[in-house]
Homo-oligomer: A and B are copies of this chain.
């Protein structure tokens, strides 16, 4: 009877790799992490017998070709763990490879057999054959070490004396380096990892209408004038200044105070009614100044340690250049006129929604991409996206991926106050951060439940909340009714529960006058210029500064890990 030939590569692999983490929706969407961290990877890995296994994470930046490897180790119950470095602000991918450690398996078996006093001569011959095979693939130095060990093994009188030689650590190291992965199994159904910059996770935001940042009451401030407020905002300890839209505002059907249909001659119009003869999404409202003024504004902010977040609202006033240049990007009535936004009985004659089902969808989305790139070229690295849930999720996935491929530093905040599953899928599809329901979560049980959802479910891997206490659209009941103590407590809650949080300016002055039975501000800044005395003695500015200083001084407040641990208790 002759021995069979060397084992060929077979199709039935013996090693199982499953339950790989992190992953989102069967690897449909990327996992979010922060550059500079290590990405911890776990998997269930096991074979059919008592053989020794090895496993590695194979990882690379998405744009690279070749994989680097990071070792995995058994934790317990067939669970393995390893980690790889997310050194850069970039997108990464990983896979897992596992294989049988043939020599180690043999070694463990041989030790047991030798220890039990059974004849191990034949087994030793097998071990030597394994070593010879490994030696053939090794460099000269390793090959010599292996040859030396083989020679010593061959010289033994009793195979049981081999134990010390085959267990030598220097031999194990050489074997590990050179052993063939002949039965390697690969698992590559893993999620990509987006390694964002730290600001993606934590930051204190301050929202302003630039035109309201002047000193003279009722005066439409320019960007140059608004610059004067930046040191103030920086002193309060904020990281991000979010500007409501700065583009030319339409005049057709311009809204007056309190959203009235009749604008007064000096009504500035809603900044979200974008576009006029002065331009559209790539222009600056003339009363704010010029692109140069904007560049200057960004530069001054940067010197103060402040980043600018720009509003990205995909909609048009009837005066937007796209209306005449690209009528096919809008919805039309049978008579050919363009439809304005409607939610009967409400009508928004000053806003034309975009039609993403446009026959020129390609031209449309490429123009929107150009808008984002335009502002990136002007120093903007954060976009607060208006109502993303009214546009196709697939559009955002494409846009954010495409932008971040070249500009991984860019952050997108989703302003979607809508049903929970839509909010989640926008985050999965790529939004760096998301607005939340925090604004309406007041009691201990409400906050505990919400933070549990955010930190103890799959959301922790893709949904980064940004807790806003208020917005120009939302003056929640607790602030309307709770007065100064409510403003202080809601600020502390937002700033300490979530790594990212924000306030809309005026909050520090405890502004709380609403249109009755609504969450709308009375005389909303959306339709009027508000000139405030920021130095009022009753301002919470010192309190805000103290809270932001505490946030900056305590890394625990810049991440969810500690909240998550507390909630698990």
A268 CA / B66 CA spacing, docked (Å) = 61
A457 touches B (CB below 8 Å): no
Which of B113, B116, B335, B345 is the one whose CB lies under 8 Å from A118?
A: B345
B129 touches A419 (CB 8 A): no
How many chain copies does the complex carry? 2
| Proximity string of chain A (76-112) to chain B, C-beta cutoff 8 Å, 1 when within and 0 when not | 0110000000000000000000000000000001001
What chain B residues lie within 8 Å of A421 (beta carbons)?
Answer: 16, 18, 44, 46, 77-78
A265 touches B (CB below 8 Å): no
A473 CA / B49 CA spacing, docked (Å) = 20
A358 CA / B398 CA spacing, docked (Å) = 48
Beta-carbon contacts under 8 Å, A473-487 to B = none
Determine the main DSSP class of A at the interface with B: loop
What chain B residues lie within 8 Å of A425 (beta carbons)?
Answer: 16, 18
Known: A109-B344, A334-B3. A14 touches B356 (CB 8 A): yes
A5 CA / B13 CA spacing, docked (Å) = 55
A394 touches B13 (CB 8 A): yes
A537 touches B (CB below 8 Å): no
A347 touches B (CB below 8 Å): yes
A345 CA / B112 CA spacing, docked (Å) = 7
A398 touches B357 (CB 8 A): no
Chain B residue with Cβ nearest A327: B1
A389 touches B (CB below 8 Å): yes
Most central of A14, A344, A345 by chain B CB within 10 Å? A344
A332 touches B4 (CB 8 A): yes
B392 touches A337 (CB 8 A): no
Chain B residue with Cβ nearest A334: B125
A63 touches B (CB below 8 Å): no
A48 touches B422 (CB 8 A): yes
> Interface size for chain A: under 10, 10 to 19, 20 to 34, or 35 or more residues?
35 or more
A28 CA / B16 CA spacing, docked (Å) = 12
Chain B residue with Cβ nearest A397: B12
What chain B residues lie within 8 Å of A361 (beta carbons)?
Answer: 10-12
A415 touches B (CB below 8 Å): no
Which of B78, B122, B357 is the one whose CB lies under 8 Å from A419?
A: B78
A117 CA / B113 CA spacing, docked (Å) = 92
Could you list 19 examples of A-B contacts with CB < 8 Å? Answer: A1-B338, A3-B333, A4-B359, A5-B359, A8-B359, A10-B356, A10-B357, A10-B361, A11-B361, A12-B394, A14-B392, A18-B425, A19-B25, A26-B189, A46-B421, A48-B391, A48-B422, A118-B347, A122-B333
Top 9 nearest A-B pairs (CB, nearest first) are A116-B345, A26-B26, A112-B344, A113-B344, A4-B328, A12-B394, A3-B332, A125-B334, A3-B336
